[in-house]
């Protein structure tokens, strides 16, 4: 808010000065003409680790205490203090959230027992690309938990992750950061912005990294640049342009196999497979145009168009099964894949603020159009040109063996074109000083045109008409305290690789349904500290399983349920002490048997108990320290519950020195006590070993 006021004041002052100079020679006494109102929309600043407002859950600028749904915000100060660089770093401090391994080549968030690679958004627009995202250009990360298709459309089964980017403004920004640390960690970022004129401002952010890893043979090189431009057109209109180029080359790392129901015990550095033949690269070109216009104080329009072009290749030679207890051998498998995707999405929102008698309304109507075209090519690896598997000793599993990659009858080679058209309406109602409500409805047409290029070239065209409601009721016994109940629903239509296993006679399936019921409380203890709590039940329906009476056919079943409690604390205890903390208890289970996953078994990688606590304490304006603890209970690697990832407690620390306004030095230590742990997996035999103790030192200069 302070930034918004500063920008508006700067533009108003510039306009006033220009008019005064133009009229300096005219000594004519006349009544001053009021200047038009200048409205410049900017993102809200945070107070330490606390963010009070968000657009993520409602598409309107709403205090979080008035949002009837669980939402966790990781602020820029916390990202900086912990030297976070990925969404995996962020998830550790989101109650109930986890990150799966993603086969070593993509972000895979787990929210309320549901894993997803597609529920990522950038400034509220769908960022449906499968890669590892970086935080070099991000102001904060907002994680909305529970389905809410009214706002985000299809997907978002367990919730969504929205990255809020840094925006250009009329305040100078000049910052360069250098970082180095364990295992040849080398990283540099910059952030430069300023006013180009009274009506134009720019900002350019960039990153370059060339780092090693605690894993043998694993390396990472990445770079990104993100120029942005804001134009204040007229007195109530702002036009923003943004473009990002981001790419990386890294080793695809799928971790350890299992042995007798646990991760195989080996040194954390050991690579199972061939790191030289396990490579991945991604190239992302993404641009957006955003128009904000205020017709007056009551009516506002926002239109956003986002285009993304994505090219990715990944190849891996990895553990394809458990360690054999008799021979001590572990089988290796291999494949590669190429994924190319183009996204084009346009959103238009119009908000109206008005009253009907004593009742105030913030009414939203909007539309979304989009198209997503994806090409997939996958090949299987043949060891020495013939074998689909290659066994190596588990005590010496790193190999270099010839592998030939070629398509088999089951490898996906296809093209999918998804087209969406949606319309939605939402009303945020202030019934009285103590009662608020939110109701909304979205209609979305989702059409998937799928061509399987294997064999006969099967074509499948499916259309789903999705109607997604949301509702919430808020009671505020005090202005800083809210008690709420909410209902949300979302759908996940059949698309992509799901259709490859179907035939035209066996493809007319309804989309999966996710229904969430939640009650909770939000308490702004004081203007700088917030406490939240939520209790939820999430049901998943229309899951595909083989028909027990006709295995060649499939049926839909009421598949799984997740229940849980989430608690979060963020902000400042006092001027010197900042805190970010969370706890979640979750119980999720299958309601129907699905192959080896029997009814009643726990959901894969569901964190039954997970807690995090980070503290920063500033002894003086120049010196501060940080200390954090992360706890995860045991969890299962897969839905068959055959392999357990043991629970762990990890301790992190930081030291901060700010000798003056232009220089900041920090040192972060991850896994201070050198705990052996396994944070996540992809399946029973692709289990990620956690990193040993690591130190990173960063220097940030402002000028």
Residues ≥6 apart with Cβ < 8 Å to 418 = 370, 371, 372, 373, 374, 446, 447, 448, 449, 495
What was the pLDDT predicted at 9?
40
What was the pLDDT predicted at 659?
96
The CA distance from 44 to 4, in Å, is 8
What own/partner pairs with CB < 8 Å and gap ≥ 24 does 473-476 have? 473/68, 473/435, 473/436, 473/437, 474/66, 474/68, 474/435, 474/436, 474/437, 474/438, 475/434, 475/435, 476/65, 476/433, 476/434, 476/435, 476/436
Helices (H), 270-427: none
The angle at the Cα of 577, spanning 4 to 75, to the nearest 5 degrees, equals: 40
Q: Encode pLDDT of 620-638 as tens digits.
A: 999 999 999 999 999 999 9
How many domains, the chain? Answer: 2
Question: Do residues 258 and 210 share a domain?
Answer: yes
pLDDT of 553 over the 60 cut: no
Instruction: Report pTM.
Output: 0.90
Question: Do residues 18 and 134 share a domain?
Answer: no
The angle at the Cα of 360, spanning 2 to 365, to the nearest 5 degrees, equals: 80
Quick check: is 471 in a domain?
Answer: yes
Looking only at the bridges linking them, the beta strands covering 262-263 and 258-259 are antiparallel
Domain containing residue 5? 1-38
Question: Do residues 181 and 211 share a domain?
Answer: yes
The CA distance from 405 to 339, in Å, is 16
Phi first, then psi: what are they for 680, rounded to 5°?
A: -160, 180
What was the pLDDT predicted at 17?
39
Q: How confident is the model at residue 483 (pLDDT cuts 50, 70, 90)?
A: very high
Quick check: is 624 in a domain?
Answer: yes
pLDDT of 619 over the 80 cut: yes
Question: Do residues 59 and 150 share a domain?
Answer: yes
What was the pLDDT predicted at 171?
93
Tell me if residue 13 falls in helix, strand or coil: helix
Per-chain mean pLDDT for the chain: 89
What was the pLDDT predicted at 460?
83
pLDDT of 554 over the 70 cut: no
Quick check: is 176 in a domain?
Answer: yes
Question: Do residues 496 and 624 share a domain?
Answer: yes
Q: DSSP label at 597? A: B
CATH code of the domain in which 278 resides:
2.40.170.20
Quick check: is 323 in a domain?
Answer: no
What was the pLDDT predicted at 211?
98
Q: How confident is the model at residue 492 (pLDDT cuts 50, 70, 90)?
A: confident
Helices (H), 460-566: 497-500
pLDDT of 227 over the 70 cut: yes
Tell me if residue 4 falls in helix, strand or coil: helix
What was the pLDDT predicted at 622?
97
The answer to whether residues 274 and 337 touch, using CB atoms and an 8 Å cutoff, is: no
pLDDT of 509 over the 60 cut: yes
- What is the arithmetic mean of pLDDT over 645-672? 97
Looking only at the bridges linking them, the beta strands covering 62-63 and 53-54 are antiparallel
Q: Encode pLDDT of 44-94 as tens digits.
A: 455 789 999 999 899 999 999 999 999 999 999 999 999 999 999 999 999
Question: Do residues 115 and 27 share a domain?
Answer: no
Q: How confident is the model at residue 20 (pLDDT cuts 50, 70, 90)?
A: very low
Question: Do residues 665 and 580 share a domain?
Answer: yes
Question: Do residues 631 and 489 share a domain?
Answer: yes
Among 470, 477, 585, residue whose Cα is nearest residue 533: 585
What was the pLDDT predicted at 22?
38
Quick check: is 249 in a domain?
Answer: yes
How remote is the C-alpha of 16 from its chain's centroid?
A: 43
Q: Encode pLDDT of 319-374 as tens digits.
A: 999 999 999 999 999 999 999 999 999 999 999 999 999 999 999 999 999 999 99
Question: Do residues 34 and 57 share a domain?
Answer: no
The answer to whether residues 632 and 648 touch, using CB atoms and an 8 Å cutoff, is: yes
The structure tokens 């939820």 sit at: 536
Q: Encode pLDDT of 557-600 as tens digits.
A: 678 899 999 999 999 999 999 999 999 999 999 887 776 677 88
**Which residues on neighbouring strands pair with residue 301, listed in sequence order?**
293, 350
The CA distance from 540 to 559, in Å, is 6
What was the pLDDT predicted at 258?
98
3-state helix, strand, coil in the chain (%, to 5): 5, 60, 35
Quick check: is 48 in a domain?
Answer: no
What was the pLDDT predicted at 306?
96
Among 185, 215, 213, residue whose Cα is nearest residue 398: 215
Biggest alpha carbon–alpha carbon distance for the chain: 102
pLDDT of 10 over the 80 cut: no
What was the pLDDT predicted at 37?
41
The CA distance from 308 to 305, in Å, is 10
What was the pLDDT predicted at 500?
52
pLDDT of 297 over the 70 cut: yes
Quick check: is 327 in a domain?
Answer: no
Q: Is 481 exposed, middle or buried (0-12, 13-18, 19+ CB in 10 A)?
A: middle
Least confident of 205-219, 232-246, 403-417: 403-417
- What is the arithmetic mean of pLDDT over 676-684? 96
The answer to whether residues 517 and 537 touch, using CB atoms and an 8 Å cutoff, is: yes
Percent of the chain with pLDDT over 70: 89
Q: Encode pLDDT of 109-161 as tens digits.
A: 999 999 888 899 999 999 988 999 999 999 999 999 998 899 999 888 899 99
Q: How confident is the model at residue 546 (pLDDT cuts 50, 70, 90)?
A: low
The angle at the Cα of 648, spanning 645 to 653, to the nearest 5 degrees, equals: 140
The answer to whether residues 271 and 252 touch, using CB atoms and an 8 Å cutoff, is: no
pLDDT of 408 over the 70 cut: yes
Write out the DSSP string of 44-75.
PPPBTTB--EESTTTSS-EEGGG-SS-EEEE-
How remote is the C-alpha of 6 from its chain's centroid?
A: 30
Question: Do residues 107 and 31 share a domain?
Answer: no
For residue 590 the two structure tokens come to 């299958």
pLDDT of 439 over the 90 cut: yes
Q: Encode pLDDT of 442-472 as tens digits.
A: 999 999 998 888 766 778 888 899 999 999 9
The CA distance from 314 to 131, in Å, is 11
The structure tokens 């009274």 sit at: 198
What was the pLDDT predicted at 101?
95
What was the pLDDT predicted at 175?
97
Question: Do residues 9 and 61 share a domain?
Answer: no
Question: Do residues 33 and 77 share a domain?
Answer: no
């Amino acid at each position: 808010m302070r930034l918004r006021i500063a920008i508006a004041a700067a533009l108003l002052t510039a306009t006033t000065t220009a008019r005064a100079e133009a009229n300096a020679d005219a000594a004519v006494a006349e009544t001053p003409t009021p200047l038009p109102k200048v409205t410049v929309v900017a993102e809200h600043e945070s107070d330490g680790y606390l963010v009070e407002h968000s657009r993520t859950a409602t598409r309107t600028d709403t205090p979080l205490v008035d949002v009837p749904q669980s939402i966790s915000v990781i602020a820029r100060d916390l990202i900086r203090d912990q030297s976070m660089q990925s969404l995996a770093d962020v998830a550790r401090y989101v109650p109930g959230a986890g990150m799966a391994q993603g086969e070593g080549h993509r972000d895979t968030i787990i929210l309320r027992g549901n894993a997803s690679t597609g529920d990522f958004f950038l400034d509220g627009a769908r960022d449906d690309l499968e890669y590892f995202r970086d935080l070099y250009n991000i102001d904060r990360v907002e994680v909305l938990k529970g389905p809410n298709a009214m706002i985000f459309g299809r997907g978002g089964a367990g919730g969504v992750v929205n990255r809020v980017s840094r925006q250009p403004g009329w305040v100078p920004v000049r910052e360069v950061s250098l970082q180095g640390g364990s295992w040849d960690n080398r990283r540099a970022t910059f952030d430069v912005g300023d006013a180009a004129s009274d009506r134009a401002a720019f900002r350019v952010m960039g990153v370059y990294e060339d780092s090693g890893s605690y894993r043998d043979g694993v390396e990472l090189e990445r770079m990104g640049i993100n120029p942005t431009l804001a134009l204040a057109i007229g007195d109530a209109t702002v036009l923003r342009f943004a473009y990002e180029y981001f790419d990386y080359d890294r080793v695809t790392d799928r971790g350890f196999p299992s042995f007798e129901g646990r991760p195989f015990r080996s040194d954390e550095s050991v690579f199972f497979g061939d790191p030289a033949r396990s490579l991945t690269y991604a190239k992302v070109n993404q641009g957006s145009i955003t128009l904000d216009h205020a017709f007056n104080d009551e009516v506002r329009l926002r239109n956003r168009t986002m285009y993304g072009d994505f090219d990715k290749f990944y190849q891996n030679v990895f553990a394809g099964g458990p360690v054999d207890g008799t021979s001590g051998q572990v089988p290796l498998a291999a494949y590669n894949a190429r994924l190319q995707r183009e996204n084009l999405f346009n959103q238009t929102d119009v908000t109206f603020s008005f009253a009907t008698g004593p009742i105030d309304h913030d009414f939203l109507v909007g539309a979304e159009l989009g198209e997503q075209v994806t090409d997939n090519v996958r090949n299987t690896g043949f060891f020495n040109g013939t074998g689909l598997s290659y066994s190596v000793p588990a005590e010496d599993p790193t190999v270099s063996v010839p592998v030939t990659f070629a398509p088999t009858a089951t490898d996906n080679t296809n093209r999918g074109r998804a087209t969406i058209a949606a319309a939605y309406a939402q009303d945020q109602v202030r019934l009285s000083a103590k009662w608020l409500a939110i109701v909304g409805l979205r209609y979305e047409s989702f059409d998937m045109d799928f061509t399987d290029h294997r064999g006969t070239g099967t074509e499948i065209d499916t259309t789903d008409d999705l109607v997604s409601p949301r509702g919430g009721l808020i009671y505020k016994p005090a202005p800083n305290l809210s008690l709420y109940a909410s209902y949300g629903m979302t759908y996940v239509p059949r698309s992509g690789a799901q259709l490859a296993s179907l035939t035209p006679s066996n493809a007319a399936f309804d989309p999966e349904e996710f229904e969430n019921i939640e009650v909770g409380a939000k308490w702004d203890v004081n203007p700088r500290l917030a406490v939240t709590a939520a209790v939820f039940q999430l049901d998943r329906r229309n899951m595909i399983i083989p028909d027990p009476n006709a295995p060649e056919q499939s049926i839909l079943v009421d598949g799984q349920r997740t229940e849980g409690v989430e608690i979060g604390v963020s902000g400042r205890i006092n001027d010197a002490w900042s805190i970010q903390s969370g706890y979640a208890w979750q119980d999720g289970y299958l309601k129907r048997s699905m192959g080896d996953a029997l009814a009643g078994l726990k959901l894969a990688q569901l964190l039954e108990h997970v807690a995090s606590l980070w503290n920063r304490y500033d002894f003086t304006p120049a010196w501060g320290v940080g200390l954090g603890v992360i706890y995860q209970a045991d969890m299962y690697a897969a839905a068959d519950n055959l392999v357990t990832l043991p629970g762990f407690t990890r301790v992190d620390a930081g030291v901060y020195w700010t000798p003056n306004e232009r220089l900041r030095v920090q040192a972060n230590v991850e896994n201070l006590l050198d705990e052996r742990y396994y944070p996540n997996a992809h399946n029973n035999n692709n289990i990620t070993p956690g990193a040993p103790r690591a130190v990173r030192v960063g220097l940030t200069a402002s000028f």
